[in-house]
A and B are shown apart, each in its own frame.
Chain A
Amino acid sequence: MINNDSNLPTLMYSRIVGRRSDRLTGPRQRSWAVLRLPVVIGVAFFFVFPYLWLVGSSFRPREEIFRYVNPISWRTFVPLAPTLDNFRHLFFERNFGRALANSLVIALVTVAITLFIGSMIAFALARIKFPGREVVFVLILATILIPFETIMVSVFLTIQRLGLFDTYAALFLPWVTDAFIIFLLRQHFRDIPDELQDAAIVDGCSLFRVYWNVMLPNIRPALVSAAFVKFVFSWDAFLWPLIVTRDPDLTVVQLAISRLFTDQNVLWELIFAGAFIGTVPLIILFLFLQRYYVEGVVTSGFN
């Protein structure tokens, strides 16, 4: 990311400034344009700095991990004797690949079901008038008010009594009804102009078709945000998998990482490597979804 090309700042600068719309060119805009690059770099540094430390550490041998933390120097970030042993150990001796695959499948399944059933009810709450819908909405919202720690034991008992203990289903079923997501999608459905729905109904569309063909495409950025957040949430889940699974074949990434804290020794080099691998799929996912944030895509439907 950092190289010796002295032209790089200027190149980046012109690219960023060039993207600004021409019509905004008052004195305020010009001073902002000058400030913009330092702000962008400052912001980027603030957010990425601890991560660079994490990435560097995942290529270090064990004895090097904390040796150069203090005083801070380039050696704090750059491994002196870089090695792939940590990754090798994770994949070949700790079956980390299985954990990654499990987490991936569970997260995809969770996201798909959550968005499907969440967007259906959100659509009903936002766009269909029926008696008591405000009450239903508040009741749904109320589920996010109770701390999970309070109902955890009870949900655990439910899972055991449904015969789902130590199964894949136990890992995602309780999480696919998500009031946060329902709330988010409802807010976005509400913002869609009424004419769109009315026109579709006049055309003879059933409500389900209105939902599926007209409404869903129009809240795509919200769906993408929801998908990303839900994916991250599922990926980070750790307390719940710990409670409902024992089978090593059902291990998820965060559980596999937490196994690296043993009572004798904290295997920091593997924790950093595991945490690094654990972020890669999420970053790739986001890069893939990022294009849905480009302006214009969304409004083209009814402009």
Chain B
Amino acid sequence: MRSKLRYLFVFVLAFSFALAACQTADEEPAPAEEAETAAPVEEAAPVEEAEPVTLRFMFPEGAGRGPGFESAIAAYQEMNPHVTIEMESVPFREYGGLLPVQFAGDSPADVALVDSSAVISYAYNGAIVPLDGIFEQSDVDDFLPSLVAQATYEGSMYAGPFFISTQGVFYNVDMFAAAGVEPPTTVEDAWTWPEFVENVSKVAESAQSDEGDVWGLVFLSNPPGSISWSLPVIRSNGQPGSNTFMALSPDGTEVSGYLDTPEAMEAYQFWQDLYVEHGLAPQGDVPDAFGNGQAATMISFSAWGSVLNNVFPDLNWDIMPIPYLETHVVHASHFMPTVAAKSDNQDEAKAFVQFLSSIEGFMAYYDVTSDMPARVSLLNELEEFQVRPLSIFKDELLTVAYAAPGGPGGAIYAEIVGDLMLDIAQGADIEAAVDAAVTELDAQLAQFG
């Protein structure tokens, strides 16, 4: 018995060395080297003479995203036969963590999708290159302004707008009908938050049963940790252009006087009341609460409807616009393609980003995978966004959508403010929590001055 174990041991050992040896032999030709000498290629360059180029394109995995990009890549490769694009699809949840590590490596992917809130930060740190000259003014005018703002650093765009996501309130039609509550149907008629609380409390109360609690409001995770969901509540308590509304100094280096105005403090109190005073939303996560009929409403992103249709086909849902306190505001953001500074094929990479951001590029993707386009013209053209429920998202995008506060310190800002909103929802002392967050954030942001 003793010796058997040792033989197994030796066998596995020998096997592993063999494995390691084969592997290294297999992988000898590094893909990037083949393309080293490729000349910068203009669109008009004669296809036959161009050196073959391989681009690596990295993006976070998402429903239908693989097939969608495959279709866009196929369209691009047909026009540019010398270019081969390899897709690297990375688990979504880890994407934000992997990006800095891969940019720190020797050979990051040539083109990588970067979340719009992080583009300026990567630009500031020199990880990605400006895309000067690849967009016409007519393109820039057609892109949604919130995305252009999040892609622009020191006068240059560092990412190409491609798709867009925003938020709405999904509500349980049956519960609302049973309670006799009529939700708003257009963005102009959107409820204010006090109206929302009053009406939804009524709905949740009438829906209570022995089967467990029914929450008034849930988010994708509860309480939401990302500022996409929580910060608009605070910003909406300020007038347009006010410090409360901006929530960050214009140069992106200061939050005192922005996150701690009297209006902001009032809004934090409201946010806490949603959880503590009204008990409308759960202080810990309740997965699938909305789909299972355990919540009357859910604030989620624009593509959520297709998820609901797939997973909970029996659920009768509709969408109303996001509520607000004083000024109607929703956040709009999404991943955008960028070109790595360490790429050996920057010209080809830029040309590919240019294609993705073009109407043809998006349409090749859209043929396979429905997503909201980052171009106003397409938003106004494509059929499905002209009719309810998706028209609510389109109208929000065209009238009340803004970029989240960002700048070079955008990632730090999102982290600290996200934690602050979470703490407040869980019952923290507001005054002390805001004070601590503002102090820490001001100290962190000072480096970008």
Query: Nearest CB to that of B293 among chain A residues?
Result: A67
Give the number of residues in B that approach A within 8 Å (Cβ atoms). 52
A62 contacts B311, CB within 8 Å?
yes
Q: Which of B23, B56, B58, B105 contacts A167 (CB 8 A)?
A: B23
Residue pair A66, B287 in contact (C-beta under 8 Å)? yes
A contact residues around B58 at 8 Å (CB): 246
CB contact list, B272-306 vs A, under 8 A: 286-289, 291-292, 301, 303-304, 306
Q: Is the CB of A262 within 8 A of B106?
A: no
Q: Which of B10-18, B123-131, B255-263, B375-383 contacts A (4 or more CB under 8 A)?
A: B10-18
Contact B27 A166 (CB under 8 A): yes
Q: Which residues of B contact A262 (CB under 8 A)?
A: 61-63, 92
**Chain A positions 133-178 with a Cβ under 8 Å from a chain B Cβ:** 152-153, 156-157, 160-161, 163-169, 172-173
**B27 partner residues in chain A, CB cutoff 8 A:** 163-164, 166-167
Assess A242 versus B90: contact at CB under 8 Å? Given A166-B27, A167-B24.
Answer: yes
A220 and B19 form a contact (CB under 8 A):
no
Q: What separation, in Å, do the CA atoms of A165 and B2 have in the docked complex?
A: 38
CB under 8 Å from chain B, chain A span 157-215: 157, 160-161, 163-169, 172-173
* A interface, over-half SS: helix
A89 near B: Cβ within 8 Å? Answer: no
Chain B residues in 8 Å Cβ range of A169: 19-20, 23-24
Q: Which of A43-98 contact B (CB under 8 A)?
A: 62-63, 65-67, 69-71
The answer to whether B101 touches A261, judged by C-beta atoms less than 8 angstroms apart, is: no
> Please, which residue of chain A has its CB at the minimum distance from the CB of B371?
A264
A109 to B22 Cα, complex, angstroms = 14
B10 to chain A, nearest CB (A): 8
Tell me, yes or no, whether A16 is within 8 Å of chain B by CB: no
Q: For B9, give its contact among A71, A116, A246 (CB under 8 Å).
A: A116
CB of B312 within 8 Å of the partner chain: yes
Query: Which chain B residues border A101 with CB–CB below 8 Å?
Result: none
Q: B292 to chain A: which residues have CB within 8 Å?
A: 63, 66-67
What is the 8 Å Cβ interface bit string for chain B, positions 304-334, against chain A (1 contact, 0 not)? 1011001110000000000000000000000
Question: Of the candidates A217, A248, A265, which one forms a contact with B63 in the assembled complex, judged by CB atoms under 8 Å apart?
Answer: A265
Residue of A nearest to B9 (CB): A112
CA of A71 to CA of B210, assembled, Å: 9
Interface residues on A, range: 35 or more
B360 within 8 A of A: no
* Contact of A258 with B by CB under 8 A: yes
> How would residues 101 to 130 of chain A score, 1 for a CB under 8 Å from any chain B CB and 0 otherwise?
000010011011101100000000000000
CA gap between A109 and B304 in the complex, in Å: 43
B105 touches A242 (CB 8 A): no
Task: Known pairs A108-B12, A153-B104; list 7 more (Cβ under 8 Å).
Answer: A109-B12, A112-B9, A115-B9, A246-B90, A261-B92, A262-B62, A266-B287
- Interface pairs (29), CB distance under 8 Å: A62-B311, A63-B311, A65-B288, A66-B292, A67-B288, A67-B292, A105-B19, A108-B12, A108-B16, A109-B12, A152-B101, A156-B104, A156-B105, A157-B106, A160-B105, A161-B106, A163-B24, A165-B105, A169-B23, A216-B6, A220-B2, A243-B98, A255-B91, A258-B93, A261-B91, A262-B63, A264-B304, A264-B307, A265-B307
Q: Which 7 A-B pairs have the closest CB atoms?
A: A109-B16, A112-B12, A261-B93, A66-B288, A258-B91, A263-B92, A167-B23
Question: A-contacting residues of B (Cβ < 8 Å)?
Answer: 2, 5-6, 9, 12-13, 15-16, 19-20, 23-24, 26-28, 30, 56, 58, 60-63, 88-94, 98, 101-102, 104-107, 212-213, 286-289, 291-292, 301, 303-304, 306-307, 310-312
